[in-house]
Every structure is written in C-alpha cells, then in structure tokens.
C-alpha cells in the first residue's frame, strides 16, 4: 500500500463572501478540517466537499450564493458522493428552506455552529443523510441558552488560509444587540458577547509566533466591547494596552466601530499606544437625522460631527472610513443631500456605499415600505461615490514624493488576474492609516514592513517604488494640512 493511500485524501473547496468575520470563520473551518485530513483545492470539480460561506446582509449576496449552488447541479448528478454545504449567515437565516430550494445540498450550518462541521461531514459520509446545525432564534430560549447557541468555536488558526501572511483577524466580540432596522446581523449572528481578554491575548501571541505583524480585532460594534470578570470590567482601551505588549505584533487595528462608543479613553489609548493604527472605520449610514431615526441608529448627525471633532482633537492625523446606505425607506432628495453634506464635511479616507436592500425579518421590512425606486438608489449611489472619490484623490495628492511605511500584503489583484510571476510583479500593502499602496516588487516581500516612495497617486491607491535606504517611518508624520479638511 502506498503511503498516500494510508492517509485520508479528502479535498475541500471553500468559497467565502461577505465581511471579515466570514474570512476568519473560513480560516477556522479549514483549520478544523485539516486536522481531519482534508487538503484544500482551488477547483470545485476536484473537491470531495464543497462549502459556501455566505452573507445575508444584502439580497444580491444571497442570490449569488444560490446561483453558485444551482451551477453545481451537473457535478452533483455525476458525483453524488460529493458533499455540498452552505455555511454562515444565509444558512442561519434560511435554514431548511435551503434544502427545499437546492435539494442536492447536504449540509447547512449557521455561523454559531461551525465547530460541528467535522462531525456533521462524518455523519453524511456514513450515510446518515442531510445534516443541519443552526443557532436558536432570538426568541427561542432564555438569554443564556441563546447566547450559548451562538458561541463560535476554539480559535484553531491556519496561517495558510490567511489572505496575507503578515496579517490576521482576531474575534473579540460576536453578535450584535443594536438592531438597526435595516440589518439582519443581530438575527444571524445572535446576541452581543465579548470574549475573555486572556483568550484574546493568548491568541495574539500564537499569531505573533506564526509570523503575524498586524492584528485586526473584529466585532460588529467593536468599540462597544466589554468583558466582566471577577468584578472587573475590561473595555477596548484596556484590551489595547495588553495587546500593545505582545512581542512581534507591530500594528493593531479594530473594526467596525459604532459612533456613540468612540469614547475619549479609547481615542487616547490609540494616541498613546505606539502599535495602534490611527485609523477608524465608523459607519455613519446617513447624514439625515430623520433617516438615522428610521434606521434606529441611536445618534444624530450632530453626535456624529461631535465624534469627528473628538477624533481630530485627540489624533489630528487619524483617518476615518465610513459606510452609507442610500435609498433607505422614505429617503427624500433633501435627506440624501444631508448625506452628501456629511461626506463633504467629514472627508473620509473612503466610504463603502450600499443601496438599501430589504431583509425579511428585520424591523425595517416590517414597518417601512422599500419605496425608493431602484433607479433613484443607483443615482444617489453614483452621486455619493463621485463626491467621495474626489475627496480621496485630493487627500492622496499630498503624498506625492513622500515615503510611507507599508505592511506588505502580497501580489495585487491586478497581477493575480494577469498571472504575473517572476522577479518583478505588482505588490500591494497598506500604510498605518490604511491607505493602499502598490509598487513593482516580489512575493518574498509579503508579510514585511517596507518603506515605499510615492511616485504617483490615484483616488484609490498610492503608486510607488521601494526605498533602498532608511526613510521616515510613515505617513503619520505628514503635516496637518495634508490630511485635514
């Protein structure tokens, strides 16, 4: 018998869409399946198990997932032994309906039950039929029972699954209790729960040992993080102090922030701790008080402007990014102009702009009609993007001729699309303030910190060349005028 036939040779194909939480979940699923003898393949046709890690935030993402599943029909007909699974938020939301809509799906697992995947796959292989593991609905049990059913599993980390060798995500909080009226996340990911600081710090040490230089702490409202233990409350600012001590970690980021919880203690921690990146992703969602109220966001535009002033006062050179939903129920032209004004005034480093997508099960879907026509949503999306892009370009221009410190992520998407190889390929990385930089380099640079001289800029990127001499540490030393309003 050959050596190969004595070990399990199962192959896994996994496709991930959605937020950073999903990227991290997939890394953990892969780590647990590798322990069971799986290897990864990039080709679904070669795989024994095909998993789709899905997103439910907008309808478009779900339709794409179903489209991908329908595409597998021929493959499954020819190879009925292949296991097809839907995991993540759409699995939690649609549950058994997935088996009805796509009868050849074998496995449905919600984001709070991913630790069960290895045993469920064994059951399917043993002929026990379709398997499903989902968490309790938010009204299906006591608060504790619901929380426990959403707990994610032990942090098995798999460096090979990470998009970039020098960077990793750490979950510090799961779920969300904000219940913004448009949002499905509190239903798919369950109640907000902070993770123990000792577990988080231990995980950061494991990641540093694996060669990771940058950690990004994840939570739906990450700056609302609280952990109570033995009468002591740990806030995000306290956690940052502990993480700043971890040897080998050089940059710490955290996403996504909730405007109301961008407190002074947190901003001062970021200012005073050398490893914390002066970059904040704090979605505003709208620049109209009436819309914010219908969204149940819990703050007004005045609160948001006040928060921006606080950030500028404490960390003058910090960059801020935002998310916006255009065309939310009942949004008038005047209300939309409020959003345009907010973007002009706040000068975000970048904004993610989404057209409102009604989600069944949310309060918004129940009480407000989705009445802004698709064409109007599209136009508002374009208008807002245009304003944001102009700001991006204006704020990138002062970097021309400067040198920035970059953490190298790897080959750029452009070079991957062109299958570039060889001594010089286009590489990409980010500055401490999260600006994207590209240059001609080589893949050995991935995971390292480099000084890059900026030769050209666009709205989205700084284009540069690698400095061969020791230069100023990074853009954070740029003068005030360059990144301010």
Binding site for ligand SF4 (CB under 6 A): 176, 178-180, 183, 185-186, 220-221, 258
Minimum Å gap between C-beta 440 and ligand SAH is: 34
Beta-carbon contacts of residue 331 (< 8 Å; ≥ 6 apart): 286, 288, 291, 356, 372, 380
Minimum Å gap between C-beta 260 and ligand SAH is: 11
Tokens 């949002």 belong to residue: 183
Minimum Å gap between C-beta 326 and ligand SAH is: 9
Minimum Å gap between C-beta 328 and ligand SF4 is: 12
Decide whether 124 or 329 has the Cβ nearer to ligand SAH.
329
Site membership for ligand SAH, residue 204 (CB under 6 A):
no
Site membership for ligand SAH, residue 58 (CB under 6 A):
yes
Minimum Å gap between C-beta 353 and ligand SAH is: 8
Task: Name which of ligand SF4, ligand SAH, none residue 279 binds, using a CB cut-off of 5 to 8 Å depending on partner kind.
Answer: none
Task: Name which of ligand SAH, ligand SF4, none residue 179 binds, using a CB cut-off of 5 to 8 Å depending on partner kind.
Answer: ligand SF4
3-class DSSP assignment, residue 87: strand
Confirm if 385 and 353 have CB atoms less than 8 A apart: yes
Chain-centre distance for alpha carbon 260: 20
Confirm if 105 and 84 have CB atoms less than 8 A apart: yes
DSSP codes joined into one string, 449-484? EEEEEEEEE-SS-EEEEE-SS---S-GGGS-HHHH-
Chain-centre distance for alpha carbon 12: 23
Confirm if 57 and 17 have CB atoms less than 8 A apart: no
Decide whether 59 or 265 has the Cβ nearer to ligand SAH.
59
Stretches 8-16, 147-155, 182-190, 454-462: which one binds ligand SAH (CB under 6 A)? 182-190
Contact pattern for ligand SAH over residues 235 through 274, marking x by CB under 6 A: ---------------------x------------------
Decide whether 156 or 290 has the Cβ nearer to ligand SAH.
290
Query: Hey, what long-range contacts does 124-133 have (CB within 8 A, 24 or more apart)?
Result: 124/83, 125/83, 130/99, 130/105, 130/106, 131/106, 131/107, 132/95, 132/96, 132/99, 132/107, 132/108, 133/108, 133/109
Q: How far apart are CA 199 and CA 272, in angstroms?
A: 24
Site membership for ligand SAH, residue 323 (CB under 6 A):
yes
Q: Of residues 254, 304, 354, 399, which one binds ligand SAH by CB under 6 A? A: 354
Minimum Å gap between C-beta 178 and ligand SF4 is: 4
DSSP codes joined into one string, 88-113? EHHHHHHTTHHHHHSTT--EEE-TT-
Minimum Å gap between C-beta 318 and ligand SAH is: 18
Q: Residue numbers of the site for ligand SAH (CB under 6 A)?
A: 57-58, 182-183, 185, 220-221, 256, 283, 285, 323, 325, 354, 356-357, 359
């Amino acid at each position: 018998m050959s050596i190969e036939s004595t070990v399990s040779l199962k192959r896994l194909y996994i496709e991930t869409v959605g937020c950073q939480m999903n990227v991290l979940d997939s890394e953990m699923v892969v780590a647990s399946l590798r322990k069971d003898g799986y290897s990864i393949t990039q080709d679904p046709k070669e795989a024994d198990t095909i998993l789709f890690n899905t997103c439910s935030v907008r309808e478009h993402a779900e339709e794409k997932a179903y489209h991908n599943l329908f595409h597998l029909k021929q493959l499954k007909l020819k190879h009925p032994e292949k296991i097809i699974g839907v995991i993540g938020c759409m699995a939690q939301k649609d549950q058994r309906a997935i088996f009805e809509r796509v009868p050849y799906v074998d496995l449905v697992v919600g984001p709070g039950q991913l630790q069960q995947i290895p045993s469920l796959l064994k059951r399917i292989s043993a002929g026990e039929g379709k398997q499903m593991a989902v968490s309790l609905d938010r009204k299906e049990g006591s608060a504790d029972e619901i929380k426990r059913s959403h707990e994610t599993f032990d942090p098995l980390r798999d460096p090979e699954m990470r998009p970039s060798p020098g960077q990793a995500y750490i979950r510090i909080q799961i779920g969300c209790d904000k219940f913004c009226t448009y949002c499905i996340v509190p239903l798919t990911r369950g109640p907000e729960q902070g993770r123990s600081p000792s577990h988080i710090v231990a995980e950061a040490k494991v990641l540093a040992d694996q060669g990771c230089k940058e950690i990004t702490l994840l939570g739906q409202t990450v700056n609302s993080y609280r952990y109570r233990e033995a009468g002591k409350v740990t806030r995000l600012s306290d956690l940052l102090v502990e993480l700043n001590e971890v040897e080998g970690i050089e940059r710490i980021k955290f996403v996504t922030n909730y405007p109301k919880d961008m407190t002074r203690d947190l901003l001062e921690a970021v200012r005073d701790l050398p490893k914390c990146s002066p970059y904040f992703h704090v979605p505003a969602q709208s620049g109209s008080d009436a819309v914010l109220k219908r969204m149940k966001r819990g703050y007004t535009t005045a609160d948001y402007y006040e928060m921006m002033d606080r950030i500028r006062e404490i960390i003058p050179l910090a960059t801020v990014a935002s998310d916006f939903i255009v065309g939310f129920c009942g949004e008038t032209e005047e209300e939309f102009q409020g959003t345009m004004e907010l973007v002009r005034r706040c000068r975000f480093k970048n904004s993610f702009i989404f057209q409102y997508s009604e989600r069944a099960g949310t309060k918004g879907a129940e009480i407000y009609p989705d009445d802004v026509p698709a064409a109007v949503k599209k136009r508002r999306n374009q208008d807002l993007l245009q304003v944001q892009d102009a700001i991006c370009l204006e704020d990138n221009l002062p970097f021309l001729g400067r040198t920035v410190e970059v953490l190298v992520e790897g080959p750029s998407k452009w070079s991957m699309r062109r299958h570039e190889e060889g001594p010089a390929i286009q590489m990409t990385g980010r500055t401490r303030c999260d600006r994207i930089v590209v240059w001609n380099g080589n893949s050995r640079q991935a995971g390292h910190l480099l000084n890059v001289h900026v030769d050209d800029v666009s709205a989205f990127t700084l284009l540069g060349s690698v400095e061969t001499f020791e230069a100023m540490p990074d853009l954070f030393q740029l003068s005030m005028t360059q990144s301010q309003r």
